Structure 1
Amino acid sequence: MQVVQGTLDELGTSLADVTFVVVDLETTGGSASASAITEVGAVKVRGGEVLGEFQTLVRPSEPIPAFIQVLTGITDAMVAGAPRIESVLPAFLEFARDSVLVAHNAGFDISFLKAAAAATGHEWPGFRVVDTVHLARQLVSRDECRNHKLSSLAVLFGATTTPDHRALHDARATVDVLHGLLERVGNLGVHTLEELRSYTSRVTPAQRRKRFLADALPSAPGVYVFQDAAGRPLYVGTSRDIRTRARSYFTASEQRTRMAEMVGLATSIRPIVCPTTLEAQVRELRLIAAYKPRYNRRSRFPEKALWVKLTVEPFPRLSIVRQVLADGARYVGPFRTRLAAEAAVAAVHEVVPLRQCTARLGLRGTGSECALAGMGRCGAPCSGRQSVEEYAQVVEEAAGLLTGDARPVTGRLRRRMGELSAQERYEDAGTVRDRLLHLVRGAARAQRIAPLAASPELVAARRAERGGWELVCVRHGRLAGTGVSPAGADPLPYVATLRATAEVVQAPVGPVPAASAEETELVLRWLEEPGTRIVELDGTWSCPVGGAAGLRAVLEPAARGDVVPFDDDPAPAPAQRATA
Structure 2
Amino acid sequence: MSSINVKLLEHKIDADSLAALPRTPGVYIFKGEGTLPLYIGKSVDIRTRVLSHLRTPDEASMIAQTRRIDFIETAGEIGALLLESRMIKEQTPLFNQRLRRIRTLCSIRLNQTNAGALPEVVDSKQVNLGSTPELYGLYSSSHAAKAKLKELAQQHMLCLALLGLEKTSTRGCFGLQIKTCLGACVGREDRRTHDQRLFSALVDSQVEVWPFDGPIDLIEQAGEWVQRHRVNNWCYLGTQCSKSSHPSQINAYKQHDFDLDSYKILVKPIMLKTVKVEEVEP
Q: Give yes or no for TM over 0.5.
A: yes
User: 1 CA distance for matches of 2:10 and 2:43?
Assistant: 24
SS where residue 230 of structure 1 aligns? Answer: coil
Q: Which of structures 1 and 2 has the larger relative contact order (alpha carbons within 8 angstroms, sep 6+)?
A: 2
Indicate the structure (1 or 2) with the bigger Cα radius of gyration: 1
Among 479, 489, 507, the residue aligned to 2:236: 479
> Is the CA contact (8 Å cut-off) linking 2:218 and 2:228 kept in structure 1?
yes
Deviates more, 1:270-279 or 1:311-320: 311-320
Among 334, 343, 347, the residue aligned to 2:151: 343
Matching of residues 457-476 of structure 1 within 5 Å: 457-461=215-219, 464-467=221-224, 470-476=227-233
Answer yes or no: is 1:377 the counterpart of 2:140.
no
Structure 1 residue 236: deviation in Å? 0.9
Question: Which residue number corresponds to residue 179 of structure 2?
Answer: none
Residue-by-residue CA offset, 1:24-75 (whole Å, 9 max, x unaligned): xxxxxxxxxxxxxxxxxxxxxxxxxxxxxxxxxxxxxxxxxxxxxxxxxxxx
SS where residue 298 of structure 1 aligns? Answer: coil
Answer yes or no: is 1:456 the counterpart of 2:214.
yes
User: Aligned letter for 2:185?
Assistant: C
The unaligned stretches of length 5 or more in structure 1 are: 1-189, 360-366, 381-389, 402-409, 411-435, 487-496, 509-513, 540-580
User: 1 CA distance for matches of 2:225 and 2:89?
Assistant: 32
Please, what TM-score do these two structures have when normalized by structure 2?
A: 0.66
Q: Are residues 214 and 305 of structure 1, via their aligned partners in 2, closer, same or farther at CA, if it must alter by over 3 Å?
A: farther
> Is the CA contact (8 Å cut-off) linking 1:289 and 1:302 kept in structure 2?
no
State how many pairs are aligned: 262
Matching of residues 323-402 of structure 1 within 5 Å: 323=124, 325-326=126-127, 331-335=135-139, 340=148, 342-344=150-152, 346=154, 350=158, 354-357=162-165, 368-372=169-173, 376-378=183-185, 401=199
Specify which structure has the higher proportion of helix.
1
Cα RMSD over matched residues?
A: 4.6
Structure 1 residue 535: deviation in Å? 2.5
User: Aligned letter for 1:226?
Assistant: F
Q: Are residues 278 and 378 of structure 1, via their aligned partners in 2, closer, same or farther at CA, if it must alter by over 3 Å?
A: same
SS where residue 451 of structure 1 aligns? Answer: coil
Structure 1 residue 478: deviation in Å? 1.4
> Is the CA contact (8 Å cut-off) linking 2:153 and 2:159 kept in structure 1?
no
> Is the CA contact (8 Å cut-off) linking 1:471 and 1:482 kept in structure 2?
yes
Structure 1 residue 238: deviation in Å? 1.4
User: 2 CA distance for matches of 1:330 and 1:228?
Assistant: 46
User: 2 CA distance for matches of 1:499 and 1:225?
Assistant: 21
Structure 1 residue 329: deviation in Å? 9.4
User: Aligned letter for 1:442?
Assistant: S
User: Aligned letter for 2:234?
Assistant: G
Q: Are residues 329 and 394 of structure 1, via their aligned partners in 2, closer, same or farther at CA, if it must alter by over 3 Å?
A: farther
Structure 1 residue 234: deviation in Å? 1.8
Structure 1 residue 485: deviation in Å? 5.7
Question: Which residue number corresponds to residue 535 of structure 1?
Answer: 278
User: Aligned letter for 2:35?
Assistant: G
User: 1 CA distance for matches of 2:72 and 2:216?
Assistant: 25
> Is the CA contact (8 Å cut-off) linking 1:222 and 1:239 kept in structure 2?
yes
Question: Which residue number corresponds to residue 255 of structure 2?
Answer: 505
User: 1 CA distance for matches of 2:41 and 2:114?
Assistant: 49
User: 2 CA distance for matches of 1:303 and 1:271?
Assistant: 28
The unaligned stretches of length 5 or more in structure 2 are: 177-181
Structure 1 residue 521: deviation in Å? 2.1
Taking only the aligned residue pairs, the percentage that are identical comes to 15
Structure 1 residue 355: deviation in Å? 4.5
Q: Are residues 522 and 213 of structure 1, via their aligned partners in 2, closer, same or farther at CA, if it must alter by over 3 Å?
A: same
Question: Which residue number corresponds to residue 122 of structure 1?
Answer: none
Matching of residues 530-569 of structure 1 within 5 Å: 532-536=275-279
User: 2 CA distance for matches of 1:499 and 1:223?
Assistant: 17
User: 2 CA distance for matches of 1:292 and 1:239?
Assistant: 19
Q: Are residues 241 and 379 of structure 1, via their aligned partners in 2, closer, same or farther at CA, if it must alter by over 3 Å?
A: same
Answer yes or no: is 1:238 the counterpart of 2:42.
yes
Among 284, 294, 298, the residue aligned to 2:98: 298
Matching of residues 398-417 of structure 1 within 5 Å: 401=199, 410=200
